[in-house]
């Protein structure tokens, strides 16, 4: 029985459709004693682990809801409560509205809204209707949203403020779906998505050039949700204080999916704030997931001690400094469990729930995940991964796909790392051009292209400067046009960026320089930019 499950998983891995990476059959093997077994409770046979249980996200969620329809699944600090039976009914009604609008399984729906019960219902309803959801930051400027909509080609957009999307050809609604027709009672084809069907498409590399669409299948997301459920001992009795935005894999793929797959509950917190988190804990939340900036703010707040009753506090999306880990521990007794993930792979590696959570490391591979280190020049090594959680390739982009995988089928994370003697992975840096600020990714090229498009700018580059609160902040280096006055240029560029970029992408500091260091091929020598 156990061996059959493993065989099913690996057979499925081999057979995934839309798979435009190079042949990887040589890479597929059945691991005898996977490193990830370290995450399982003592006595659990790793071969008995079924990471695809349920077959699809709605398959797993509906069976958890039906186990006890009366229990609370969602709550808010305003006192709203949604039971499992109610969520099943409301999400079926949402799926009915999509069907009555004429949306067909496989079509795309753009979701860009702040956290609310309505947003969760609109999202889960879309997956139950077999739609592929394209989530977008709810603070994106109209220009950013328009460019994402153009890349994704959705059949419908769900946004808080329809005025933010001005494309007359695009059908737009609010998260309550009130202006969509209600179902006529016809068969809406609920919960028919297959393991290989696309559930989410997340765009990763900003809005210039060719944005990369990351198509996450139900199987990718299900495998990751089950992996963290098992590793973190997530039980129906748990309530997550869900303060992460619901448009990235951290809030969605770990927070919401993990809650629903575990048959547990979440308290929705639309805007992170230490007092709101403390209130959720006081009302019985047992889990908290956050980015390091959130733990930094909690550590500086009078509410830190209020985290003491939590069963588990997890950090990810950016490095958690060892000193911050110690400060949280000293202030409330929580040994924050750091884990590592990526949009393309969902969750990869985690410190153990039982056993030492080693500050400055991200721990061991999660169930189903294999990790290897590929040596590079200069003594560093790239982290490469594979597993049922890893996408099969980028959307309609064979070049990006070919670059992202090794010839033997491992996904290149672009992160650098090393294992210590006990098998804990540490992330020592990044080979990719990326700034992570407050857990949000900023692609330097996107900001640089915008700056260079300003008429008073001759050249520009951006880099990340270390920051205790944000991890990194964006610093811009600008070469003004001959005629331009430095001070005026900076003020103008600041306003120019504010109109076109969401707050976290905007440079926080400006340096006016004579030249941007470039190599003979014109590539920016980023290490020579000293913030």
Residues that bind ligand MLC (CB under 6 A): 244-245, 248-251, 272, 291, 293-294, 316-317, 341-343, 437-440, 470, 473, 503-504
Calpha distance 9→367 (Å, rounded): 12
| Nearest Cα to Cα of residue 19 among 219, 196, 210, 222 | 196
Cβ proximity to ligand AMP: between 28 and 322 the closer is 322
Cβ proximity to ligand AMP: between 198 and 267 the closer is 198
- Pick the binder of ligand AMP from 115, 217, 259, 317 (CB under 6 A): 317
- Beta carbon of residue 187, minimum distance to ligand MLC (angstroms, whole number): 36
**Helix H segments across 194-291?**
218-231, 257-262, 274-282
- Pick the binder of ligand AMP from 338, 370, 382, 448 (CB under 6 A): 338
Binding of residue 471 to ligand AMP (CB under 6 A): no
Binding of residue 316 to ligand AMP (CB under 6 A): yes
Calpha distance 271→242 (Å, rounded): 10
- Say which entry of ligand MLC, ligand AMP, none residue 303 contacts (CB below 5 to 8 A, set by partner kind): none
Binding of residue 293 to ligand AMP (CB under 6 A): no
- Say which entry of ligand MLC, ligand AMP, none residue 58 contacts (CB below 5 to 8 A, set by partner kind): none
Residue listed under structure tokens 């890479």:
27
Binding of residue 246 to ligand AMP (CB under 6 A): no
Calpha distance 187→54 (Å, rounded): 22
> What are the tokens at 20?
């435009």
- Say which entry of ligand MLC, ligand AMP, none residue 503 contacts (CB below 5 to 8 A, set by partner kind): ligand MLC
- Beta carbon of residue 9, minimum distance to ligand AMP (angstroms, whole number): 23
Confirm if 158 and 111 have CB atoms less than 8 A apart.
yes
Give the binding-site size for ligand AMP (rule: CB under 6 A). 18
Cβ proximity to ligand MLC: between 128 and 257 the closer is 257
Indicate the burial class of 288 (C-beta count within 10 angstroms; 0-12, 13-18, 19 or more): buried
* DSSP conformation letters of 124-190: HHHHHTTPEEEE--TT--HHHHHHHHHHH--SEEEES-GGG---TTS-EE-TT-TTSPPP-SS---T
Strand order in the sheet with 381-386: 370-375, 381-386, 411-419, 425-430
Calpha distance 277→312 (Å, rounded): 14
Cβ proximity to ligand MLC: between 285 and 362 the closer is 362
Calpha distance 264→247 (Å, rounded): 20
Binding of residue 341 to ligand AMP (CB under 6 A): yes
Cβ proximity to ligand AMP: between 175 and 253 the closer is 253
> What are the tokens at 25?
């059959």
Calpha distance 200→183 (Å, rounded): 24
- Pick the binder of ligand AMP from 109, 244, 318, 390 (CB under 6 A): 318
Q: What is the DSSP letter of 41?
A: P
Cβ proximity to ligand MLC: between 159 and 291 the closer is 291
- Beta carbon of residue 413, minimum distance to ligand AMP (angstroms, whole number): 5
- Say which entry of ligand AMP, ligand MLC, none residue 213 contacts (CB below 5 to 8 A, set by partner kind): none
Which of the stretches 127-135, 281-289, 334-342, 509-517 binds ligand AMP when contact is defined by CB under 6 A?
Answer: 334-342
Indicate the burial class of 45 (C-beta count within 10 angstroms; 0-12, 13-18, 19 or more): exposed
- Say which entry of ligand AMP, ligand MLC, none residue 470 contacts (CB below 5 to 8 A, set by partner kind): ligand MLC
Cβ proximity to ligand MLC: between 89 and 273 the closer is 273
- Beta carbon of residue 475, minimum distance to ligand AMP (angstroms, whole number): 19
In the complex, residue closest to ligand AMP by CB: 343
Contact residues for ligand AMP (CB under 6 A)? 204, 249, 316-319, 338, 340-343, 362, 413, 415, 427, 430, 436, 441
């Amino acid at each position: 029985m156990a061996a059959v499950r493993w065989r099913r998983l690996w057979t499925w891995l081999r057979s995934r459709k839309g798979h435009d990476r190079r042949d990887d059959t040589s890479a597929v093997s059945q691991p005898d004693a996977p490193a990830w077994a370290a995450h399982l409770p003592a006595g659990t046979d790793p071969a008995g682990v079924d990471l695809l249980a349920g077959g699809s996200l709605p398959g797993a969620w509906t069976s958890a809801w039906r186990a006890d329809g009366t229990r609370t699944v969602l709550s808010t600090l305003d006192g709203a409560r949604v039971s499992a039976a109610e969520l099943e009914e409301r999400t079926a009604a949402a799926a009915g509205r999509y069907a009555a609008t004429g949306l067909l399984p496989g079509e795309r729906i753009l979701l860009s809204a702040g956290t609310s019960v309505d947003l969760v219902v609109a999202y889960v309803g879309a997956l139950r209707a077999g739609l592929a959801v394209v989530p977008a930051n709810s603070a994106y400027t109209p220009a950013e949203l328009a460019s994402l909509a153009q890349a994704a080609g959705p059949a419908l957009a769900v946004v808080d403020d329809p005025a933010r999307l001005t494309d007359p050809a695009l059908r737009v609604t609010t998260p309550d779906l009130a202006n969509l027709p209600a179902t006529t009672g016809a068969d809406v084809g609920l919960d028919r998505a297959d393991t290989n069907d696309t559930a989410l498409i997340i765009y990763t590399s900003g809005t210039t050039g060719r944005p990369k669409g990351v198509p996450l299948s139900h199987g990718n997301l299900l495998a990751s949700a089950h992996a963290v459920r098992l590793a973190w001992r997530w039980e129906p009795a748990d309530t997550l204080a869900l303060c992460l935005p619901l448009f990235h894999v951290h809030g969605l793929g770990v927070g919401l999916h993990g809650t629903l797959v575990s048959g547990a509950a979440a308290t929705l917190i639309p805007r992170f704030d230490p007092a709101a988190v403390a209130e959720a804990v006081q009302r019985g939340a047992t889990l908290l997931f956050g980015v390091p900036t959130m733990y930094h703010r909690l550590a500086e707040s009078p509410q830190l001690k209020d985290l003491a009753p939590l069963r588990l506090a997890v950090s990810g999306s950016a490095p958690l400094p060892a000193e911050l880990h110690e400060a949280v521990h000293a202030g409330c007794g929580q040994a924050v469990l750091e884990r590592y993930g990526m949009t393309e792979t969902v969750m990869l590696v985690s410190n153990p729930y039982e056993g030492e959570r080693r500050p400055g490391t991200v721990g061991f591979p999660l169930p189903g995940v294999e990790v290897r280190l590929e040596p590079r020049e200069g003594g560093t090594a790239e982290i490469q991964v594979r597993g049922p959680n890893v996408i099969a390739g980028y959307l309609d982009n064979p070049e990006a796909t070919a670059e992202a995988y090794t010839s033997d089928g491992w996904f290149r994370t672009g992160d650098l790392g090393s294992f210590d003697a006990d098998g804990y992975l540490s992330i020592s840096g990044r080979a990719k051009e990326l700034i992570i600020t407050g857990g949000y990714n900023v692609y330097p090229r996107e900001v640089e292209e915008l700056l260079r498009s300003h008429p008073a700018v001759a050249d520009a580059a951006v880099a990340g400067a270390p920051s205790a609160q944000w991890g990194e902040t964006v610093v811009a280096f600008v070469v003004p046009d001959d005629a331009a006055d430095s001070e005026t240029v900076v003020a103008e560029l600041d306003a120019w960026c504010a109109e076109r970029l969401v707050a976290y992408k905007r440079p926080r500091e400006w340096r006016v320089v004579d030249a941007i260091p470039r190599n003979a091929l014109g590539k920016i020598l980023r290490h020579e930019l000293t913030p």
